[in-house]
Structure 1
């Protein structure tokens, strides 16, 4: 569906050049919810603007559904953009227009007849959960409702790709979850390819199938969300994962836990998928004469399955502790000794 080939964007700042996107190579499959995460200045906003032709690359190409949008004229680019819609952090609604008129606007521009516009607006209002609010103005809506209008407007021309530029960062956590649930529902119903950029790992964890981590204009880590949660490789990825799991393995964390639990062995367990539902600790306690104390734990649910981390204090004789750890490894639980006596 989307292919980025050696994509770069260099800006002339007047004081020199700034490379915002640096040789990005990426494939996004049809119907995929793909997340791009990075801190401010990572290049993710520039990258998403390259995807819909709002920015021209310095080098490389953007191919969407077989069409290289970096190599077409302005007329064809305008036509191609109808298949690539975008929703924004600050909604970008027309404040003098009602909900219905905001959703209708791109259809007017496309020259869709009035009757068909009305029919399409009705479908979209139902889809995004705004039935009964068609005649309200943006000033009369909550933040979540405004974003639902933005989503409906973006879907008006039946796009193949929906780009989300920090679409939930201006919303409270509960409203964020409702908008993310709506995006998942739209993805499943319409088979829409969704690409979103964010700095919040909760967003990636909740709805994305795969994720690219950006830093300094480059993609430094890429993979299925569940695999990235299970075994993040780069330090920046570990920091993002720690936003959700709260089990960052920094030396300070280990030292603090060691002070709180001075005896025995501290181990970190990682459970993935069906493992999170298995009574592995019950089996461990019944099988070995060791004392188990749960120090810290968290389970996060992704689109590909659940991911759980657990830090345990195990006390007992060293042979029994070694056998207990060997048992966990045999159960395909990723086990890491964090500290011991």
Structure 2
């Protein structure tokens, strides 16, 4: 669906050249929700603006449905942008227009007839959950409702791709979840490809199928969300995963346990999918002569399934502990032993 090769963007200032995006490569499949995460200055917002040519690339190519966006003329680009909707962090609504008129605006620009506009606007108002608010003005809406208007407006021309630039970062957590649920619903109903920029791993965890991690203008890690949660390779990725799975009291708690139980082994189990719901600890206690003390545990849900971690202290004969850990590994649960405490 979207193929990006060698993409770069250099901002030239009086004093220096700033490489916002450097030799970026990515493939985004049709119908998936693809997340791009990075800290401020990583280049992620520049990247998404390059996709619809709000910024012109300094080099490289962007192909969407076999059309090279990076080389289109202004006239052809205007037509191509009708296939790409965009949602902004601060809504970018027209404050003098009603909800219905805001949604209708891109249809007016596209030359759609008044009758067709009304039919499409009514359909979108219902789709985004704003029934009864069509004649309201943006100043009369909550932040979440404003973003719903922004989403409806972005969908007006029936785009194939929806670009979201920090679409939830100005919203409170509860409203954020409702907007994310809406995006998942839209993705399922319309088969829309969604490219989502964020600095919050919670957003990635909740709705994305795959994720790319950006740092210094480059993608430093990419993969299925569940795989990235399970096996983060880069330091920056581990910091993001800790936003969701981290425990600030982990180290001190483990140290106290080691002092109280100096014998045995401290291990971390990684559960995926169905294993997160099975009574593995009870099985180990019944099958082997070991005492199992649960220190920490957490389960989180991603679009590709559940992922959980459990840190335990096993006490018993060394040989029996090894047998128990071997059994755990054979159940497809990953085991990490000799944790630093």
Q: TM-score normalised to the size of structure 2?
A: 0.96
* Structure 1, 320-329 or 169-178: larger mean CA deviation: 320-329
Deviation sequence 1:277-329 (CA, Å, 0-9, x none): 22211111111122222111111111111111111121222222211111111
The residue aligned with 1:257 is: 254
The residue aligned with 1:152 is: 152
The residue aligned with 1:23 is: 23
d(CA) in 2 for partners of 1:318 and 1:267? 14
d(CA) in 1 for partners of 2:21 and 2:339? 41
Q: Could you tell me how far 1:256 is from its partner in structure 2?
A: 5.0
Q: How many residues align?
A: 338
Q: Could you tell me how far 1:260 is from its partner in structure 2?
A: 3.8
d(CA) in 2 for partners of 1:98 and 1:312? 57
Is the 1:212–1:222 contact (alpha carbons within 8 Å) kept by the matching residues of 2?
yes
Is the 1:205–1:303 contact (alpha carbons within 8 Å) kept by the matching residues of 2?
yes
What does residue range 1-341 of structure 1 map to in structure 2 within 5 Å?
A: 1-247=1-247, 253-254=250-251, 257-262=254-259, 263=261, 264-339=264-339
d(CA) in 2 for partners of 1:14 and 1:202? 39
d(CA) in 1 for partners of 2:171 and 2:265? 42
d(CA) in 2 for partners of 1:188 and 1:340? 43
d(CA) in 1 for partners of 2:95 and 2:76? 30
For the residue of structure 2 that corresponds to 1:20, the secondary structure is strand
d(CA) in 2 for partners of 1:95 and 1:5? 39
Deviation sequence 1:232-280 (CA, Å, 0-9, x none): 11111111011111158xxx95465123442232111101112112221
Is the 1:265–1:340 contact (alpha carbons within 8 Å) kept by the matching residues of 2?
no
* Structure 1, 57-66 or 271-280: larger mean CA deviation: 271-280
Q: Could you tell me how far 1:35 is from its partner in structure 2?
A: 0.2
For the residue of structure 2 that corresponds to 1:19, the secondary structure is strand
Is the 1:35–1:197 contact (alpha carbons within 8 Å) kept by the matching residues of 2?
yes
d(CA) in 1 for partners of 2:225 and 2:278? 22
Deviation sequence 1:111-166 (CA, Å, 0-9, x none): 11111100000000010000011111111111111100000000000000000000
For the residue of structure 2 that corresponds to 1:158, the secondary structure is coil
d(CA) in 2 for partners of 1:162 and 1:183? 10
Q: TM-score normalised to the size of structure 1?
A: 0.96
Q: Could you tell me how far 1:340 is from its partner in structure 2?
A: 8.3
Deviation sequence 1:1-44 (CA, Å, 0-9, x none): 11101101111122111111011111101101000000000000
Is the 2:250–2:296 contact (alpha carbons within 8 Å) kept by the matching residues of 1?
no
* Structure 1, 322-331 or 19-28: larger mean CA deviation: 322-331
For the residue of structure 2 that corresponds to 1:82, the secondary structure is helix
What are structure 1's unaligned runs of at least 5 residues? Answer: none
Q: Could you tell me how far 1:214 is from its partner in structure 2?
A: 0.3
Is the 1:88–1:166 contact (alpha carbons within 8 Å) kept by the matching residues of 2?
yes
Is the 1:85–1:163 contact (alpha carbons within 8 Å) kept by the matching residues of 2?
yes
d(CA) in 2 for partners of 1:140 and 1:35? 31
Is the 1:247–1:309 contact (alpha carbons within 8 Å) kept by the matching residues of 2?
no
